[in-house]
Every structure is written in structure tokens, then in C-alpha cells.
Structure 1
Amino acid sequence: MSKLNGDKSNYIGSLLHSLCLNYADQNEAVADKSFHIVSKKLTQPHCGKEQCEFVTVEKIKGRIGKIRGQEDVHSFVDLYHKLTQSVALKNRGAVLNFLLLASLQADGDRENNLEQPFYIPLLSPAGHLPAMPSRGSSSPQELYINSSRQRPAPVSVMQQTAVPLYINSRFSDSSGELRNVQSRPYKAKVDSGSFITDVSESALLQELIYSFQGIDGKILKWSKVHEEFVVDAQVKLTVSRRRYVQRLAELGQLYMQVNDCCAKMSSSHNTGLVCQSLVAALRSELVEYYRAIAVWQSQIQQQCESPADSPLSEEAATAAAPAPAPRGQQHLTLRRLLVYSQEPLGRMRWLAAIARSCVGKKGGALASCAHRYLQHGDSALKDLVRHLLSVVCKPVFEMISRWILEGELDDPHGEFFIAANSNIMGDQLWHEKYRVLDIMVPSFISPSQAKKILATGKSINFLREICHDYSPLKGREELKHTLDCASVDSLFLMEREGNLQFMMDSAYLDTSKRVLDVLIDQYKFLEHLQAMRRYLLLGQGDFIRYLMELLEPELNKSASQLLPHNLMGIMESAIRATNAQFEDADILQRLDVILLHVTSDDVGWDIFSLDYHVAGPIGTIFKQERESYLMLFSALWRTKRMEWVLSGMWKRQVTSSKMVHKVPELVPLMKQMHLLISEMVHFVHQMQYYLLFEVLECSWDELIKQVHQAESLDDIILAHHVFLLNVKSGALLDSEEAQRKKNLSTKLRAVYDLILQLQSHEKSVQERMGQELEARLAREAEVSRAGQGQWGRCADTDAKEAVRLREFAKVYVPGAGAQMRILAKSYRDLVRQFLMDLLAEDDFSLHLLSSRLDFSEYYKRHDPEISERHTHLHRRTSLHAK
């Protein structure tokens, strides 16, 4: 009988070796390795037929898909389906597992989740090794112990000692019946540096349970240097067990990281509600983790009550048969613990990553760190992050709700993305008291949405503190109900068509409309805007002209001699004498006179300015732009003054046209002066038309349209600011290209200075002409009396008169003419440079201004460069160069 069993063992071994040799493409070395692997696997107990077969089929499909492609996977599935319909093959799972193992070893492949055991030959029912075909050697069969880190030398079976191994096998005999056969123990000699000596698997499992809770054991200890659990240097484990322990110890390492991050965030003095919520969410996740540990600990305790470790461990420590596990429950082993811990391990990895990224942050910045993981493709991770965010974002959601409902900031830890400066009061509330902290804006709230949220609460405070309007806002109860019923998820999901998003937008529009209605109806914003246009931008023509006429004597004085109350009295006289008297009393009370900064050479014209007092709600719009209005008033006032100066010279020219014929020496000079004054009048009129109509009126029309279309106070403030920017740019005061505009403004001021010089020269000529005319009329009267025989002439008087006439004709007239020519040349040179600078600008309206200023093409004919810049080719080349 013993001989029969031995022959059967040899027969089985020959068949196995032949199959392995075929898989290895006749490579005997690889075939030998495959033979040892499948021998070992066939001698191990099976888990459960359905489970093992399913796992094996999935591994085969994965391997085929990796090597051959999806088409071959489908072919394998069809073949496997046909195989399951057949009743000829009884051990289908074992056959598939054998084929998989043989193919893996033949190709030299390893899968990450396939742990290779020690290679142990298949034992016969009598305890003999299955014989391999002899290759010319009669030496005893050798046992190969394989490791992923080293390849030890072969050990003879005759020399195996020290460690007893019990291998249970299940074979089917020739009749197809299954029978259990237990092999007899044998001992193997193994290097003490690679094999465990006295640590059982139950002890390792208990150590791992300790490490899962961050507790040091006798074998696994926490290393502060490497920040991980490491095996004590005094304990020696087999390579496979060490690998299992290291992989499982990662769970404890991740637990320590999460626990440390929670401790750091909780111990901070400025933690905040959002950070505390994250800590609470993480600790709730750890509670589920503790439950899993409790289940594992319970299984270990039940196993420890039995006299031996589980028989399912890879290397049993005793020869005694283990106590059976309770019904429906399997004994816990390192391999099973590794499988059971995969889901907690993956979850703990993400929790540790989220916790590490959130340490040191608070408020919206912390919520943004957690929200980044919501974009991951893993559905399990997305569910985890969504659960965390539903807890973390709750304080943010409550802050937003309170802000848009009541305009209140309840943020003691500085976590909200809206901050307030309690020192700011009055007109500056809208501009400076509240602001958005960009670093605290959560990533699921867009910048535009953050600005709307800011404007909603700011509008409520503006109505209460500035407008003193405490009436209930439209739709506030409906919004409150929506916020109470909305979930926190709707905040960080922020669906564009969602109910929460719609209600927040509605609250913004309703609150903003309420602010605009109060400003326009109750505080007459449009009337004040028109008043600024009429008086500070010189839109009220009759008032401005009469005011200039009344102020001329005062403004011709030195700036240091002016008294504000005198100028204020003159302005009130101008109001009573013009249509300004029909203005609203509130507007007239706000109109005032101020004197700008005085320098040594200034006269009253240089420092005089009108001002408009703005306070209360309308100051929110106008007060920030007061400097811009003063700047524009000075520019427009200067142009209006040039018109006034040239008008006075023109009047004097007309009234003195008859007298000049009595002083014929001055006729050429007065003619030259008349031509220059005409050129200047044309220049100033064109500049006035450009400033008052093309710039101011067009910009004003656009402003009024935007004011009527505005949805919020910010829209009006922005439209008003853009209006002033456009007007200043058109008035050559400010622009993006500030330096080039500054050059234009400087040249324009120089032209105006030449007009004032001409006025001074013209006045002196008019005075000298009047003196000369009086002298000549007196001389004629003397001659007439002498002709009538009366007294009146003498030789001495005639000699003095001849000297005076000669001095006038030979000295004064040539000197006045030379000065006139210098003024004319300086003026034309400046205008020529000014025209060239206008043509160099990108603004087409300035090109048209240049054409109107040179309507007769005088400068174009005398300057080829100006003529060239007017061409289309030059403009296109300039644009291309820019």
C-alpha cells in the first residue's frame, strides 16, 4: 500500500512538472520554480470555493487585460461561462488557481496583492515528497525558500531541523471522492537572522491593534525620527511577516498624523469655529475607526482563549489542531487583517492629507483647503469630503446668513471673508468700513459672488446708519425661510440655478434697489448730480459769466489780498441776478467759494474755485471725487477766463478802431495784434467746444444712462468715477498715458500764458495810444488857437513836440511791434507743437480737434511733419508700431 501511494505521488508530480514545463516554454529552471509554487498551493487549505474561484477569475481577467487587451478578456469571460456549464470538472477553482500560479511564475510576474509563500514540495498522503523526473542526478530533493529581498541557498531535506511545519492537504482519489490527509511533521534549518523564533501571530496582531491606536508595544514602537511605527531591533521576524507588519503599521502612522493635527488645531489660541468644526468632523471619523478596531480586538481575544493560533496563518506555530471558529466568523490572521484594513486605510490616508493641509489655516482659507479634494474623481473620497465640508462650512453658512439678513458680523476669531473697521463712521462707511478679505474667500464662492454678499450686508448698514431708514426690506422673511431650510451642502456646491443662489441674488438686488430708491427719492441724488454739473463744471452759463464779470476786479488782485467772505458775497449777488436763484434752497446752501493753495506769484484767478458741500448719504458718491471736481473746475475756469480775456481785448479793438486812424503809426501794429487775437479766439473757442460738448456733454449723457440702469450703489459710484476719469482725460488732465497727457496740458497752459501776455501788451498799447491821441488832440487845439490869433504855440513847445513824435515813431512803435512779433512767433510755435502732440495721440477725437484748430491749414502748409501726420498711412504705421 505504501508503494502504491508512492507511485501515485510520483505520477502526480510528473503530471504537475509536465504542465509547468509547458507553461515555461520548456525552460526547466522556471518549470522547477513553478512546480514548487503549485505544490505548496495545492497542499494549503482552501478559503471557500466560491470566494477563491471569484478572486482567481478576477486576477486572471486583470492579467489578461494588462498583457493582451480587453478583447481577450471578453474571450476569457465567454470561455469561463461555458466552463461553469460543464459538470465534468469538479475542482474548477483549484484548477484555475493552479493555471494562474503556473503562468505567473513562467512569466516572472508578480502582482502587488499576491503574497508569495515559502516554496514547499507537495507531500504525499504518506508524508513523502512528490518526485520530479530525474535529470541525471540522484541527490535528495531540495527545498527552496524564496524571499522578495534575498535568495537564500537551497537546503537539503535531510538537513531540515528546528521548525516543525504542519501542512493539511485535500486530494481526490481515483473515484472522485475527497478525503483529508494530515502530513507528518518535519523540521527545517533556517537562518536565525531571517526567521521568527518565538513571536506568535496573535502577538503580532495585538501589537498592530496597539499601533492602530498610536500606542507603543513591545514589538512595534513609534519612531519620532522617521515618524512611523517600526519593529524593535531586538525582534527578528520572517521577511513575509515583516512585510505584513510594515504594511499594516501604516494605518497607525496615519492615525497618529490625524490625531496630531487635531491636537495642534485644538490647542491654538485663535482656533475659530471653522477649525473647531473640522476637528469635530475628524474626531467623528475616528469614532468609526475605533469601532473597527474594537471588532478586530474582539476577534483577537476570542482567538487568544484557544490553545493555539489560527490554522489559517501562513506558518503555524504548533502541531495541535486549532479550535474551530464560531459559526459565520473566520479567525483573524495577518493576511485577513490586511484585507479588512484596506477600506479604513484608504479613508485614513485622505483624512491625514486633509488634516495636514488644513493645519495653520482658519476660516474660509481652511474651507478652501478641504474643498479642493471635492474635485477628485474618487466617489468615496468625494462622499468623505462632502461630509467634512457639511460640518466645516456650517459656521461660514451661519455668518453669511446673518450678514445678508441683518447686516451683522459675528466673527470673534476673524474667520469670515468680510471684515469691518469699527473706527470708520459717516460718509466713509460704504468705501472703507467693510471689505472683502481675498485670502478668506472660500474657493466655492466666486469673487463676484463675494462682492454681492458684501454689498448686501453693507447696504443694510448703509440704510440704517447713514440714511436712518429702518423700514423692513422686501422679501426678507422669504429669504430667512430659505436660509433656514437650506442645507450647508448647497453653500459649497453653489449650483448656479439652485434655490440658495437665486435667493442670495434676489436679496442683493432687492437691498440695492432699496438703497437707490432712498438716495434718489428721499435725498435727491439726481438733483445734486445736476447741481455739480451746472456749477462745478460750468454748465450754468449765465451764472458763470455774470460771476466772472463781478469777480474780475477782485481776482485781478494778488492772491494774498483776497478775502473769502467778499468773494462769497459776490457769488450770492450773481445767484440773485441769474437763473440760479430758482434752484432748490438745499442746493444753494451747499454752494461755496474756496481759495486753493497760494504761491507767491499767484493772482486771484489762479486760486479761486467754487465748491459744493456734500454730507450724509450723497457724500458717499461725491466726497471721494471732490479733488477731481476741483481739478476740472480749475481747468474749465481757466479756459473760460481765456475767453473772457480775449472778449475784452476784442471789445477794446473794436472801440479803438476809429481812434487808431488818428495815430497812423500804430495802424500796422494794431492790425497785427488784431490778427493774433483772432487766431487766439479761434483756438480758445475750439478748445471750449471740445471740452464742453465733445468731452463733457457726451460723457454726461453716458453717465445719466448708466445711473438709470444701475442695479446697486456700487454701479452708480463706478459710473460716476468713470465719468470723471473720461472728462479729466478729455481735458488733458489725466490718462493711462499720464506723461503724454501732461505734456499736452503743459503746452496748453503755455498757450494760455501767451494770451495773458498779449492782454498785458494790448492794454499797454491801448494806454499809450490813448495818451498819444490826447497829446495830438491837445497839439491840434494849440495850432487852431494860434491860427485864430490866440496864444498856444511857441518854438520851445514845437521842438518838444517834434522830439516826442520822433520818439514815438522811431522808438516805441518799433519796440511794440517787435514785442508783438515775438508773441506771435512764440504763440504759433507752441500751437504747432500742440497740434503735433494731438496727432500723436491714439484718441481720434484729438485728431479732429487738431484739424479744427488748423481749419485754414496754415500750420499744415508751413510744417511738412504736420501734413504727414494727417495721412492715413502715418496713422496706420503708428498703430502698428505701438
Structure 2
Amino acid sequence: MATLDQKSPNVLLQSLCCRITGKSEAEVAHQFQFAVRVIGSNYAPTIERDEFLVTEKIKKELLKQRREADAALFSELHRKLQTQGVLKHRWSVLYLLLILAEDPRKPSSRVGNYGAVFAQALPRDAHSTPFYCTRPQSLALGYGERCAGLSASMATSGISSLGVYTLNGPTPTPQSLLAGQPAPSAVGGAPPLGSRLAWALPTSSSPSAVGPATIRPPLGPSLSTTRALRPRQDGDAAGEVSEASLVRDILYVFQGIDGKFVKMSAQDNCYKIDTKVVVNKSLRDTCSRLAELGWLHNKVRKYTDARSLDRAFGLVGQSFCASLHQELKEYYRLLSVLHSQLQVEDDQGVNMCTESTLTLRRLLVWMYDPKVRLKMLAALVDFCQGRKGGELASAVHAYGKTGDPQMRALVQHILSLVSHPILNFLYRWIYDGELEDTYHEFFVASDPNVKTDRLWHDKYSLRKSMIPSFITMDQARKVLLIGKSINFLHQVCHDRTPPGKITPASKSADTPKDAAELLSDLEGAFQEKIDAAYFDTSKYLLDVLNRNYLLLEHLQAMRRYLLLGQGDFIRHLMDLLKPELARPATTLYQHNLTGILETAVRATNAQYDNMEVLKRLDVRLLEVSPGDTGWDVFSLDYHVDGPIATVFTRECMGHYLRVFNFLWRAKRMEYTLTDIWKGQMCNAKLLKTMPELSGVLHQCHILASEMVHFIHQMQYYITFEVLECSWDELWNKVQQAQDLDHIIAAHEVFLDTIISRCLLDNNSRSLLNQLRAIFDQIIEFQNAQDSLYRSALEELALQLQFEEKKKQNEEEGQWGVTAEQEVEEKRRIREFQETIPKMCSQLRILTHFYQSIVQQFLVLLTTSSDESLRFLSFRLDFNEHYRAREPRLRASLGATRGRRMSNI
């Protein structure tokens, strides 16, 4: 047997006629010939190509024949036909049925059977039970069941038409309304967004009306002619307004239009019945409760009208307005059903005072769910006033935290529309590094005035107020780093690798449905997208910096040269620079010092470093002050540029310069004390013949030993406890860093640590001043000892010269010395011996001043908040030499030792 697909159009048309009429092929010959003439003709249809209007026309024909059950069945089956997508040209089929029903040669008594016949012709399945018989409670209020277009769906979650809305609400649909219910699903059947028009049915009730049906606003009481309110009954002595008139007014109020009796009160800001109008108290109260929908509608409508044309409101705000328009559109569908029912009753001549199905009490029940939804929308509008972008999305998200599943579904749908632009911004940023945020809605901000060298630090930042509440701060930070890394690679590193090869682009939120799916799994799929892009981009950036720009080698170079980690190089450089740096600072020339630097590099292990590192090493002379020597103004410098300047910023290089000057000065003290010790060792044997110097030399030895102990302990503390420990922590963090920000943060912590523990921060200024005073005393001691040795050696040379001359004269047979020479010699020796007490006094003063400064330094150390500095005071006074001299020190050291023992 051939299938339907294999049959000719004529056979199919004949089968359709038989199926509709329920007769044999011979009996439907007349209808078949009429159908062939209709299909083959070229005349224009008498009704616009609007499926909704055709279905309304069919239902009105059924209602005219008092076949309400068939009309309801037709509506339900038509709705299911729409959701199944069986037919592509539903309008054509429905129009054919309508034309067949309007055949003037066909008896009018059989018109009402077409809906039932058509219902029988449609396929039935498990869901073919009429929808007003049972209401599934499991249907969600989500918009996931929408079909191709908003107007082509009858399963929406918005404020829908009455028949559809009852699927989501707690109130069953009255079957009396189903008879006249329109199917608000055809293209063009809903009022346009931004319109105040409700749905109205065609005014003609004749089955043979051929004029196109139109959608028009419900007219107000004073303008309507065919819909005029019924006057009060003449026999009513009290002149009380009928309930039917109030129903008609309420339907206008639902749309924000004043009725004849129910009007907006500007003073009370609500719709109310004037006190002069005679109305039953129960009806007045019911009208007041129903009129609240009009007030809520106006509130939402006013917000959307004010914001829809405001471009500065941004894409997120426009999406929010679009979602409100969708909800109002569903609300208008419901009102169109009520208006059409009122129209049907008028056409049938129903006495609205006694027999009308539209009563205030029924409206109160039927409008319960729309009222709840409008209240939610109005509250949401109030809460979102003055907000835009991500802040607006956060406000909507906050309203989704409710226990009502229907309200939560409503907010989730609105949130999916609102967050769609934000997610588009986000995906374009993390996959392409592009930021086109014209209205500043995204939480990543860009400053176009920032230059390329400060791109990483200053160009991009987070707008914390625009971070949606459903995105965590950690996710926002990663999003910022991803796009910033892509732009850094392109603009600073000049890496031309396409972003798609760095991070394979994943599916973005192309539609609000995709956005809703992502928002429903923020800790799953969304987090995976962010993490994948973050790890891939950050890893690639670090690889480029380490491979092409030698970031880690430059970091080690800072440690070796600016932090004096290359010991042989620093010692040899200091030996070569000593003659130059001893001169006044104004006599130094940088090119001479640069030549000495290159000599020191070639003579030490520094020569084996990468040339990219060595060519950046240079000499720098600080600003010269009066009386400065070369030691005060000399400094090493390291040139940085390009991508590595992002890690070694100007601020960081300034910190390195401060630390270098401190370490260089401390290294000079060590170098100076070494010279002092060498001078003492060399001159001790030479001055044995001058016993009068033994006391002053002993005093020099003691003071030098104190200074050597102090400087050695300070050098140990700086080198091992500060530099080495901090460097080890930095290196471990750099090896484990996941992005460039981690490296920058670890490097800044490293610099802050060594600056604070080397007494270079503001909190340690008094300690640094004391330490500098100690360094100055070491220089003073070196000068005093050099002066002592110079005088002693001159005197020793004169005495040896005198004895040599005396011996030479005796060998020549002459007197060794004359009386005058002997007197002169004794006078000179006496003058020298008289200077020794002055030298001793000078050394005692120097020693006393040095010890007092050290004692003050120790007192400051013991009161420091840094535990390592408190422990340094123990090593500096290991034998309690200074404690015995300073009462304050005894109290401080005792308290510190007590705390230390309690910790143990």
C-alpha cells in the first residue's frame, strides 16, 4: 500500500475531505470539487495570513452554534498541534477548513461539526486529554518550553492568557471562558512590545464576514459605541452601579486606563471608585483589590517606557526592559481573553447582571497569579532603580533567592536575559582579549590613557560595583587576568600567537538559553570555562617571559649584583674602587667607574653570566651633597625595559637602590675594619720599642674588637636571616606561581621584607639613624688610629734615624752626639710623649660615644615588634657587656628573655 508521501495532491485532498466530513469518497464529491476550485484559484484570501485570526474565526463559528465543548477541544488540540510541529503551513489548513465551513451551498446546521471533525482528524496521544480537565502541578514557570518565537508558544511561563496561565497557577480555568478563549500564539497576534493595546476580537459576528480582523485597543467608556456601559436601571431607587459596569471598568484599569467609575486618584496614588458613586461596599472593596493590578502594571510600564529608549542604560538594561516587556506581553494575552469573553457575551446578548461569567469575584480568583507576578516585577523594578550593568544583574539575582518555585523560575528567566550581555562581554574578553564596553556595564574597566609600559598595572582594573553577585571575586580576578594576559602578550611581548591557539575557544552564551544553562551550574561548567582559560593563558605568558625575555635570570642577577650576592665580584670591585671612592665626589667621572666595573666583571666569575644580563649592569652616581666622597654617591644600576619592566618597576628599582646603598655601606664597614685589623697586626711589632704606646694600642685593640663583633653580627643577620631566607621564599613562590600577578606579588613581598628588616622603612627610622651613627664612629676610629700610627711611625723613624746617625759617628771615631743634639732629641721625645695622653683621651671619648650609641641601638632593638631584631640584640650583647652599663637595657633584655623562655 502506498504511503501518503507517495500519493498525488488530488488524492490527498480527497482523503482530507473524507476525513473531515466522515463520509465516503462518493458522498464528498461536491466538497472535493469546491476544494479543488479554492486551491486552484488565484484570488486573494479574505483574511490576512494570521493563524490567530483564523482560529478565532473558527471558534466563533462554533460558539454561534452553541458548541462550546467543541470550541474548547479545538483550542486544546490546536495548541498541541503547534507544539508538535507536524504541519508547516497550519494557516493554510485552517483557512481551508474555514472556507469549507462558509460554503453557502452547505447547510448551516452542520457548521458546528467541523471543530469536532477537525479534532477527530488530529492525532491523539497520551497528552490528548483537554487541558482544563487536569492541571499538572509539575510544570515549571521557566521559558525553556518556548518554541521558535515568543508569539508561537502556548507553554510560556509569563503572565499568559487565561487558558495557558492556569497551567502554572493554583486556580483551575473556568470552562465557561474556554469557549471564547483566543489562541494567543499566531505571529502578529500579540501586542507589540511597548504598546498599551490589549487584545480585541473582530467586531463582526457573522459567519460570512470577510473583512480582515484587526487588533485594536479596548476603548474607554466615553469613546465606545458598540461597547458602551449599560446605564443604571431606572427602577433602582438608590442608583447603584451594577457589577457588570464595574467589571468592564476593571478590565480597562488592568491596562492602566481610567474607567467610568474606577479612576486613578492622584492624591492617594491608586485606582479607586469615587466616594460619590453609589456602590455596594463589598463590590467597592473587591474593585479596590482588583485595581491594584492596574497600579502595578503602570509601575512596570513606566519603568520600561522611560528606559527602553535610553541608550546610556546599556545592553544589560535593555535586556532587562525586554524581559519586562515579555512579561507584560503575556499579561496582555490574558487581558485579551477576558475582553474577548466580554465581547462574546455581548454578541450573544447575555444579561451581564445575572448570567455573566465575568464577575468581580471570579476576576479576583483568576487574577491572583498575575497579581503575584506583577507584584514581583514591581518590587524588582523598585529595587533596580538607578542600577545598570553588572549591578543590575546582581539586583535581579538577589530576588531569585526565594522559596517559591514559580517566582524563582520567573526571576531565573529574567536573569538569563539580563546576564546574556554580561556573559557575551566575558567570553569575548577571555577568548579574544577584546573589551567593547561602551556604556561601562562590564566589571572589567580599561583606561585608554595608560601607556603600554604600565599596561599590566594600571590599564585594566575591576569595577567592584559591577561584579554580578553570582560571580565570585576569585572568578572576577581570573577573568581580569585572562584578558589582561592576552593584551599583554600582544602589545608588550609582541607575541602574534592567535588567542585560539593559546586557549581553545569554548561555546559562548549565544542565546539566553545558553546563559541560563551556565547560570544554573556556576560551580561546574562556568567555573571550568574560567579555570581552563586562566591556566592556559597564564602558563603561556609565563613561558614567553621565561623563554624569550629571561625573567628568572634577571631576577637572579638582581640578587647577585644589586644585593651583593656575588661575593668575589663585590670584593674585587671594592678593592679596585677604593682609590677612586676615597676622593671627593665632585672629582669622579662615570666613564672611569664604568671601566673599573668592566674590569671587575672580567676578573671574577661574573664573566660567565649571560651577556643579556651583563650589558644591563652599569654604574650610577647619586646626587652629590657638599662634603660627600665617592663612597657616598657610588651605586650599581641595572637597566630594565620591555616586559621585564612589568616585574621590575621603577618603584621596585628604587627599593633595590636603597637596599644596595645600605648593603654597600655595611660592606664598606666590614672592609674598613679589615684594614684596621691589618694595620694593627702589621704595626704591633714595629711599635714594640715604644712601650709608652702600649696603653693606647691596647685601647685601640679593644675598641676595634667591639666594632668587628658588631659588624660581623650585623652582616650575618643581613646576609643570612634577611637576604637568604627572603630569597628562598621568593624563589619557591616564583617556581609555584600560576600567573604573572603571583610573581609580581611575591617579588613585592620580598622587597618589602628586606626593606623592613634592613631598617629602611619608616617604622625603623630611629634604628637606622643609630646604625648610621655607629658606621660613622667606625670611620672616625679608622681616622684616629691612622693618625696615631702615622705619628708613632714618624717618631719611630726619627728615633731610628737618630740612633743610626749616632752609631755612624761612633764608627767614624767621632762623638756619637753633641750636647745640643742630645737635648734636641730629648725635647722631641718629650713632646711626642706629651701627645700620647691626648691620643688616649681622644680614644676614650670615641669609645664612650661609640658604646653609648650601641647601647641606644640595643634598647631600640629590644623594644622592636620584629622578633628577629629582638634576637639580634642577644647576639650583639652575648656577654652582657652593654647590659651591665645601661639600666634600661637590663630591664628590656630581662623582659625579652622572659618572653623568650615562656615561648620555649
TM-score, structure 2 normalization: 0.70
Q: Which residue of the partner structure matches residue 849 of structure 1?
A: 872
2:858·2:873 contact (CA, 8 Å) conserved in 1?
yes
CA drift at 1:643: 0.5
Aligned-partner Cα distance in 1 for 2:392–2:743: 35
The whole-number CA distance in structure 2 between the counterparts of 1:304 and 1:790 is 163
Q: For the residues of structure 1 that align with 2:791 and 2:372, how far apart are their CA atoms?
A: 104
* Contact 1:646/1:677 (8 A) holds in 2: yes
Partner of 2:760: 733
Distance 1:289 1:283 in 2: 10
Deviations 1:432-481 (A, max 9, x none): 11111111111111111100111111111122222222234677675423
Q: Aligned pair in 2 of structure 1 residues 789, 259: CA closer, same or farther (>3 Å)?
A: farther
Residue of 771, 776, 779 corresponding to 2:799: 776
How far has the Cα of 1:219 moved from its partner? 2.6
Query: d(CA) in 2 for partners of 1:489 and 1:747?
Result: 66
Contact 1:364 / 1:442 at 8 angstroms: preserved in 2?
Answer: yes
Partner of 1:518: 544
Q: Which residue of 2 aligns with 1:258?
A: 300
CA change 1:208–1:878 in 2 (3 A) is: farther
- Quote the Cα distance in structure 2 between the aligned partners of 1:729 and 1:487: 52
Residue 464 of structure 1 is matched in structure 2 by 490
- Alpha carbons of 1:473 and 1:837: their partners in 2 closer, same or farther (altered >3 Å)? same
**Alignment partner of 1:655: what SS?**
helix
Q: Deviations over 1:816-842 (max 9, x none)?
A: 211211111122222222223323334
Equivalent position amino acid for 1:511 in 2:
T
Quote the Cα distance in structure 2 between the aligned partners of 1:446 and 1:855.
Answer: 53
Q: 1:600 to 1:197 in 2, by over 3 A?
A: farther
Q: Which runs of 5+ in 1 are unaligned?
A: 1-112, 114-184, 190-195, 312-321, 326-330
Moved more, 844-853 or 453-462: 844-853
State how far apart, in whole Å, the 2-side matches of 1:225 and 1:755 are. Answer: 90
Q: Which residue of 1 aligns with 2:845?
A: 822
Q: Which one of the candidate residues 658, 673, 688 is aligned to 2:685?
A: 658
Change (3 A) 1:413 1:776: same
Shift of 1:226: 3.8
Q: In the TM superposition, what is the alpha-carbon distance from 1:671 to its structure 2 partner?
A: 1.3
User: Aligned equivalents of 1:490 and 1:549: distance in 2?
Assistant: 71
Residues in 2 aligned to 1:477 and 1:466: alpha-carbon distance in whole angstroms: 19
- How far does residue 854 in structure 1 lie from its aligned partner after superposition? 2.0
Q: Distance in 1 between matches of 2:582 and 2:409?
A: 81
Q: CA deviation at 1:595?
A: 1.9
Q: Is the CA contact 1:264–1:359 (under 8 Å) kept in the aligned structure 2?
A: no
**For 1:753, which of 767, 772, 776 is the aligned residue?**
776
Supply the distance in 1 between the matched residues of 2:248 and 2:236 (Cα, whole angstroms).
28
Is 2:677 aligned against 1:635?
no
The secondary structure found in structure 1 opposite 2:601 is helix
C-alpha distance in 2 between matches for 1:878 and 1:453: 50
Cα distance, 1:778 vs. partner?
Answer: 3.5
Specify which of 568, 574, 579 is matched with residue 542 of structure 1: 568
1:877 to 1:755, Cα distance in 2 relative to 1, 3 A: closer
Match of 1:557 among 545, 566, 583: 583
1:379 and 2:405 aligned? yes
Q: Is the Cα–Cα contact under 8 Å of residues 358 and 370 in structure 1 kept in the other structure?
A: yes
Decide whether the 8 Å contact of 2:759 with 2:767 is kept in 1.
Answer: yes
Letter in 1 for 2:772: R
Whether the aligned pair in 2 keeps the contact of 1:474 and 1:510 (CA below 8 Å) is no
In the superposition, relative to structure 1, how do residues 872 and 491 fare at CA in structure 2: closer, same or farther (>3 Å)? farther
Residue 791 to residue 352, structure 1, CA distance change in 2 (3 Å): farther
Q: Deviations for 1:13-46, whole angstroms, at most 9, x for unmatched residues? A: xxxxxxxxxxxxxxxxxxxxxxxxxxxxxxxxxx
* Matching residue within 706, 710, 730 for 1:679: 706
Moved more, 338-347 or 464-473: 464-473
Q: 1:619 to 1:750 in 2, by over 3 A?
A: same
SS in structure 2 of the partner of residue 270 of structure 1? helix
Separation in structure 1 between the aligned mates of residue 345 and residue 825 of structure 2, nearest angstrom: 144
The one-letter code sitting in structure 1 at the alignment partner of 2:376 is W
Matches within 5 A, 1:605-624: 605-623=631-649, 624=651
Give the letter aligned to residue 744 of structure 1: L
2-side partners of 1:482 and 1:211: how far apart?
A: 43
The 3 A distance-change label for structure 1 pair 220 and 520 is same
Q: Aligned pair 1:578/2:620, yes or no?
A: no
Q: 1:525 to 1:775 in 2, by over 3 A?
A: same
For the pair 1:813 / 2:813, whether they are aligned, the reply is: no
Equivalent pair of 1:868/1:874 in contact (CA under 8 Å): no
Inter-partner Cα distance in structure 1 for 2:402 and 2:281: 36
Structure 2's unaligned 5+ residue stretches are 1-169, 171-232
2:744 to 707, 712, 717: 717
Q: Which residue of 1 aligns with 2:724?
A: 697
Tell me the percent identity: 45
Question: Take 1:643 and 1:534, find their aligned partners in 2: how far apart are those partners?
Answer: 19
Tell me the equivalent position of 2:341.
299
1:534–1:361 distance in 2 versus 1, CA, 3 Å: same
Q: Secondary structure at the match of 2:522?
A: coil
- What's 1:283 paired with? 325
- Greater mean alpha carbon deviation, residues 870-879 or residues 256-265: 870-879
Query: Cα offset for 1:494?
Result: 4.6
1:212 equivalent in structure 2: 254
The answer to whether the 8 A contact 1:272-1:362 is kept is yes
Once residues 271 and 420 of structure 1 are traced to their aligned partners in structure 2, the CA distance between those partners, rounded to angstroms, is: 19
Q: How does 1:61-210 map to 2 (within 5 A)?
A: 197-210=239-252
Letter in 2 for 1:766: Y
Task: State whether residues 274 and 395 of structure 1, in contact with CA within 8 Å, keep that contact through their aligned partners in structure 2.
Answer: yes
Alpha-carbon spacing, 1:230–1:765, altered in 2? closer, same or farther (3 Å): farther
* Distance (Å, rounded) in 2 between the aligned partners of 1:483 and 1:719: 36
Q: Distance in 2 between matches of 1:265 and 1:816?
A: 92
1:239 is the counterpart of 2:254: no
Q: Cα offset for 1:789?
A: 5.7
Q: CA deviation at 1:769?
A: 2.0
Cα offsets for 1:679-738 (capped at 9, x unmatched): 11111111111111122112212222222211111111122222222222221223xxx4
Determine the structure 2 residue equivalent to 1:602: 628
Query: Within 2, Cα distance between the matches of 1:512 and 1:602?
Result: 48
Q: Is the contact made by 1:555 and 1:605 (CA closer than 8 Å) also made in structure 2?
A: yes
Name the SS for the 1:457 alignment partner: helix
8 Å contact from structure 1 (residues 482, 500) kept in 2: no
Q: 1:228, CA displacement in angstroms? A: 2.4
SS in 1 for 2:415: helix
With CA pairs under 8 Å and 6+ residues apart, which has the higher RCO, 1 or 2?
A: 2
Contact 1:261/1:356 (CA < 8 Å) preserved in 2? no
2:386 corresponds to which letter in structure 1? Answer: G
Secondary structure in structure 2 of the residue aligned to 1:435: strand
Q: Distance in 2 between matches of 1:875 and 1:229?
A: 81
Partner Cα distance (1:629, 1:813) in 2: 46
- Deviation for aligned residue 1:873: 7.7
- In structure 2, do the counterparts of structure 1 residues 526 and 785 end up closer, same or farther at CA, with 3 Å as the change threshold? same
* Count of residue correspondences: 669
CA contact (8 A) 2:870 2:896 kept: no
For the 8 Å contact 1:482–1:503, the answer to whether it is kept is no
Letter in 2 for 1:206: R
Q: What's the CA shift string for 1:348-394, capped at 9, x where partnerless?
A: 11111111222221111110111101112221111111010110011
Q: Given the alignment, which residue of 590, 606, 631 partners 2:616?
A: 590
Secondary structure of 2:445 counterpart:
strand
Q: Secondary structure at the match of 1:593?
A: strand
Deviations 1:122-180 (A, max 9, x none): xxxxxxxxxxxxxxxxxxxxxxxxxxxxxxxxxxxxxxxxxxxxxxxxxxxxxxxxxxx
